Amino acid sequence: MARDTDHVTFMAALAERHQERLAGALVTLENRIADFMASAPLDAGELFDEQWAITARSGLREIVEQEYLSEVDAIIRDYDTALRDAVALNSPLSNFQELDPSVVAQLKTLSFQGFQDIGNEYLDVIAKEIYEATLVGASFATIVQSVRSQVSGRLARYSSQLVHDSLMQFDASVNIKMAKDAGITKFKYVGSLVDASRDHCRKHRNKTYTEEEIYEIWSGEWAGKMSGNPFKVRGGYNCGHQFIGVE
């Protein structure tokens, strides 16, 4: 098996493991928030204490940090596994040189910030929902179910997508950085095909282009395309393809 195929296969498996880890963390998060909600003062099964609803935000934030962001941090630390495989992929290049550790650290920081944004958005939604439910004296059982659904629905959907795309974009960034630092000017678009593969990826898979050609080709439009540098965003959301430098 070619080294580029090996790497893409490795990355797909790593992304799947990360998604499984995050899914487990979200189950724990959902249960902990439900337990936290059980401390809410009730009157005939309804929320009523506005002060509790206001201060609940800090408790919810702590839970989000402990159960969601702590697991995200551990997952991003595991990007070192992807980096080692990317180094093995690119090290045969004639003028290969290791990445500056500060570059890797910055890429990890940027990845973590994406998850922080999602976590903060989720916190805003449920804190607002709890306060508004308290104002109108909503049923405790109803609000707990609603808060649970926010974890298993909105947060899970966005986080699962991001945990895949963040890893793949990190990998894309380090691969292209190492290739360009080695003086590479041509890049092969590699990756396996699945039923959901976009026509764009099918068309360009296993083809080699210059940087100028890539920018021209990727200026087009297709379903699922992401804005940004084509080397980083590749085929778009949930894309498993990569550009690999070739001599």
The model's pLDDT over 76-118, given as tens digits with 9 standing for 90+, comes to 999 999 999 999 999 999 999 999 999 999 999 999 999 999 9
d(CA 180, CA 125): 43
Residue 196 lies in a domain: no
Q: How confident is the model at residue 4 (pLDDT cuts 50, 70, 90)?
A: confident
Alpha carbon separation from 41 to 112, 147, 198, 238, 245 (Å, rounded): 35, 17, 51, 43, 61
Residue 233 lies in a domain: no
Q: Dig out the tokens for 48 from the structure.
A: 């009523």
Which residue spans within 99-246 are E strands per DSSP? 186-190, 208-210, 242-246
Q: Dig out the tokens for 163 from the structure.
A: 């945990």
Count of structural domains, the chain: 1
What is the average pLDDT value for the chain, to the nearest integer?
Answer: 93
Report the pLDDT value the prediction gives residue 2, as an integer from 0 to 100: 76
Residue for token pair 């976590």: 119
Residue 97 lies in a domain: yes
Query: Helix, strand or coil for residue 106?
Result: helix
The closest alpha carbon to 11, from 207, 242, 189, 198, belongs to 242
Report the pLDDT value the prediction gives residue 1, as an integer from 0 to 100: 43
48-52 CB contacts, 8 Å cutoff, 24+ apart = 48/134, 48/137, 49/134, 50/131, 50/134, 50/135, 52/134
Contact predicate 236/201, CB 8 Å: no
Residue 237 lies in a domain: no
Contact predicate 230/163, CB 8 Å: no
The closest alpha carbon to 169, from 75, 239, 98, belongs to 239
d(CA 72, CA 112): 7
Residue 198 pLDDT > 80: yes
Residue 234 lies in a domain: no
Query: Helix, strand or coil for residue 41?
Result: coil
Q: What is the pLDDT of residues 41-82, one digit of tens each?
A: 999 999 999 999 999 999 999 999 999 999 999 999 999 999
Query: Helix, strand or coil for residue 239?
Result: coil
> Domain containing 32: what range?
3-183
* Pairing status of strand 242-246 against strand 208-210: unpaired
Residue 239 lies in a domain: no
d(CA 80, CA 197): 27
Contact predicate 13/25, CB 8 Å: no
Residue 72 lies in a domain: yes
Q: What is the pLDDT of residues 146-193, one digit of tens each?
A: 988 888 888 999 999 999 999 999 999 999 999 999 999 999 999 888
Q: Model's pTM, two decimal places?
A: 0.91
Residue 207 lies in a domain: no
Q: How confident is the model at residue 5 (pLDDT cuts 50, 70, 90)?
A: confident
